[in-house]
Amino acid sequence: MKLTIEQIRALDKDTLTPEEASGPLGCTGFLLGRMCHEEPERVQFPFLCVGNKTIIPRIGFLNWFDGKRVWMEGE
């Protein structure tokens, strides 16, 4: 499910899927997931690949989207 940045801000969960994060980026979740796995140097926000799964920390993604250099709360 593609979300807007406002919907992502309102979520009450710690992580995003590539599909959820792809909405504000204007791409597909499949493309974002593949990029994280195959071209991680091009992805500028924090993420973690575990097997075929891609995990995106919600706060880190929001901080990156807002132009902040701090990825985690409290840093």
Which domains are assigned to the chain?
A: 5-65 (3.90.105)
Q: In terms of pLDDT, which residue wins out, 60 or 2?
A: 60
pLDDT score, position 73: 58
Q: What is the pLDDT of residues 19-55, one digit of tens each?
A: 999 999 999 999 999 999 999 999 999 999 999 999 9
pLDDT score, position 70: 62
Cβ pair 17, 47 in contact under 8 A: no
Q: Which two tokens stand for residue 52?
A: 């075929």
Cβ count near 19 (within 10 Å): 16
Contacts of 57 (CB under 8 A, 6+ apart): 14, 15, 16, 46, 47, 48, 71, 72
pTM here is 0.87
Rounded CA separation 6/43 (Å): 21
**Cα distances (Å, whole numbers) of residue 25 to 21, 38, 73, 75:** 7, 18, 22, 25
